[in-house]
Structure 1
């Protein structure tokens, strides 16, 4: 996972993440990685519209943003 985070930080790729906070609440977020630490990472969160620090161990799923097409 750290490889994905580091690559996204270098290439300024937007990621989609499913995250569980310390209270057990689950949220889906779109983020842009700023810096990767040993056990956490700093990212701009488009949901909260501010920089946030996330624990790597609380990430349930993460990957590139998927473009969903609707209609025929």
Structure 2
């Protein structure tokens, strides 16, 4: 389960690394607003997945339930 969160953290970091040269949050107008909102949303996703990664249990042990075998039907010949 932890691998999934780690994968999401790495993918979000990769997206931020790729997008940062193209985004200019202090540029005026709609482009600046879009850049700022995109960066904030990416940081929110990154922090949420990082916290989920830290709080996920180490390993979930699944209990094996043994099913009782049905009693054999015996034919009685007379």
TM-score normalized by the length of structure 1: 0.24
Larger Rg: 2
Structure with more of its chain in strand, by fraction: 1
Greater RCO (Cα-Cα under 8 Å, separation 6 or more): 2
TM-score normalized by the length of structure 2: 0.22
Structure with more of its chain in helix, by fraction: 2
